[in-house]
Structure 1
């Protein structure tokens, strides 16, 4: 089940560096990058034409070419953490990801890079997921990996972490596996409690990010991260997500990219079920088992329309057909505006704050925080207290006391068989 996205030859080192410089230039986003390669054939030729482009597109956002020395320094920083740049045109660049309009010009990868060429499914959901939700995520991830598929997620708390962990346990050496797409630099562990998971992903899975190494994640980075999760995947599954959850952004990207959207239904009294239930009302595929996903994937893998008009623009030898008519640059100017809109920020790449990963020690959790954690793990479906203890990673005596307090406060309800559930508000 390896996707055939091999290219005739590798890019030359000079072209690789030119593409990285072009991608890191201010106000040249993924759409503009792609438009420039379509127009000029190579990044080197596009860079040579930048002065003319800037002159012809005056009135739009200023373009500043990334410094060669800064780009080399970024590459050297990536090498220190064993990260490899995967550039548009490389044989390892995922064909399905390259198909989306705003595919990243390049990204960094650590771990089993071969996973990037295998059929994948995105699996996302709430950070404050219930134990039942995390359990179902593990079940789906196990079934998908056992069938040879790669599970793609974002290494966040809750559903993401559960999906990655199950995939690593299921397919350490097989065709299946897992890819984590980060919102910060590929070497930045976020959240901090996933340090151990991060280490396992580096060894047995694959970690990727389009951000420069050392960049701490910021809120505006995650929507960009989400379009990569869906772009790598034939379909995206949403498990537990509030109405304003970022997981719904991933689902929207998947639909816009022509991929399947799956949603796991939940109780209407649980706010975390609002997102999946609304997706199902809007036409998403109701998912109650891995078999539902696998049946759809068998059809999707054979859909050649996903790869129509797929180009890597690896024709370095071709001569650019350059037109000096100012109207010739209208589409490039429009792509600059669209990139700015997609980025959600008016700041240029030069304003990003590069920092070294800190070695902070996680703060000790207060009692009220522990109560919130227990409530987040519970849903209106009864859960074994033993499972709650395992999911919370809190001592059994702490759980007992917290449940007593929450029961007195009218927040939880006990059930026969040593089970407990959250009381719907």
Structure 2
């Protein structure tokens, strides 16, 4: 949690660091050396223990539970995306996170017809045992959640999940207070943001990638040409998920988004049956996602965070980091020296770092192709890319690709 909240360490860098060093604890130990190698002017500040404890206590106060990447409860489909959140908070029925889901998004200023259609397909999908995912916004989102909640007590296995742009305890918009309370009680509300954080415009695209990441496919009901719903559709396409679009009148600006998606190859959606047929075919390929998010090292497996995620255990573990016996200190220092020794043996001089950088351009390239072209070991290339990313010289893209950042 400290590593994930550190400045300029996003979800992709977080994941690459865990793959490289085996655990967040070891990655934090190695971070100063990585920063020194990168010679970066970017501000990289590790989140403090006090900040982490404060966040956990705030989450505890609002009944929010942390779901951490690598946990059995972490949704396998979400874990498959390149920028999966290191952890997120959930309130409500977390068992819904393990069910097959469909995202439904659309305009905030939706028409009565659009809201009616959204309710209809939400009702039919939940009745068929699926979970519908949306963002609890005005318009289409609210209609989707409301229709799903009407079926909760009717002996069905479906449900609804709301992904928020702010903290999991922050109701936005305010008029959805009652809907939020029902979702916390009968559905599930999640957010990767710290509890208490008020949503800002820049948070919603990050929220949208989670809506699509949780889902086998995303349905766009109504959306203008600049709607955030189209961002969700784009994320779905990049993540390899189906994109469904509900056609509308060419004279209605709210139909411009779905109509353009259909023109670009989205699946025309005029009923829930279209979605069910496509998703059932996709479900047959779930073996592609098996164990894709199981990377925890043995060193992490016995950590209290993974053995028993009670808040008291987590806080005790964090506070316990500051108090240890001399023998334990000696052991950890020895382990750190061994780790840094291994890291040093695979790190290259500045000429290899520049070699990798020179092979990059503004056009994203597959990292596997970069490894082949550079003729350097995969672990060495991975370390160099982490250094270049922390230095603000490269950026990662979906599909395990990377590109140079223009000066």
If the TM-score is normalised by the length of the shorter chain, which range does it land in?
A: 0.7 to 0.9
Partner of 2:249: 267
Partner of 1:256: 238
Q: Is the 8 A contact 1:31 1:339 kept in 2?
A: no
Partner of 2:343: 323
Aligned ranges for residues 374-393 of structure 1 at < 5 Å?
A: none
Secondary structure of the structure 1 residue equivalent to 2:4: helix
Q: CA deviation at 1:53?
A: 0.9
RMSD: 1.9
Aligned ranges for residues 142-291 of structure 1 at < 5 Å?
A: 142-172=123-153, 174-291=156-273
Q: CA deviation at 1:234?
A: 0.3
Residue number among 27, 35, 38 corresponding to 1:57 in the alignment: 38
Q: Give, in whole Å, the separation in 2 of the partners of 1:78 and 1:130.
A: 37
Relative distance call for 1:195 and 1:338 in structure 2 (3 A) is farther
Partner of 1:292: 274
Q: Is the 8 A contact 2:76 2:290 kept in 1?
A: no
Q: CA deviation at 1:175?
A: 1.4
- 1:22 has 2:3 as partner: yes
Q: Is the 8 A contact 1:96 1:306 kept in 2?
A: no
Pick which of 53-62 and 106-115 moved more.
Answer: 53-62
Give the gaps of 5 or more residues in structure 2: 301-334, 354-379, 398-407
Partner of 2:387: 333
Q: Is the 8 A contact 2:67 2:73 kept in 1?
A: yes
- TM-score, with structure 1 as normaliser: 0.73
Q: Is the 8 A contact 1:184 1:209 kept in 2?
A: yes
Pick which of 104-113 and 305-314 moved more.
Answer: 305-314
Q: Give, in whole Å, the separation in 2 of the partners of 1:79 and 1:146.
A: 33
Secondary structure of the structure 1 residue equivalent to 2:133: strand
Partner of 2:99: 118
Q: CA deviation at 1:171?
A: 3.0
Q: How many aligned positions are there?
A: 323
Q: Is the 8 A contact 2:76 2:293 kept in 1?
A: no
- 1:70 has 2:90 as partner: no
Q: Is the 8 A contact 2:35 2:387 kept in 1?
A: no
Q: Give, in whole Å, the separation in 2 of the partners of 1:157 and 1:145.
A: 20
Over 6 Å off, 4+ runs: 338-342
Q: Give, in whole Å, the separation in 2 of the partners of 1:141 and 1:335.
A: 41
Q: Is the 8 A contact 2:131 2:159 kept in 1?
A: yes
Q: Is the 8 A contact 1:263 1:277 kept in 2?
A: yes
Give the gaps of 5 or more residues in structure 1: 1-19, 343-425
Q: Is the 8 A contact 1:27 1:339 kept in 2?
A: no
Relative distance call for 1:309 and 1:258 in structure 2 (3 A) is farther
Residue deviations 1:186-241 (CA, integer Å, cap 9, x gap): 00000000000000000000000000111000000000000000000000000010
Q: Is the 8 A contact 2:126 2:158 kept in 1?
A: yes
Q: CA deviation at 1:310?
A: 1.2
- TM-score, with structure 2 as normaliser: 0.76
Q: Is the 8 A contact 2:12 2:396 kept in 1?
A: no
Q: Is the 8 A contact 2:213 2:239 kept in 1?
A: yes
Q: CA deviation at 1:278?
A: 0.2
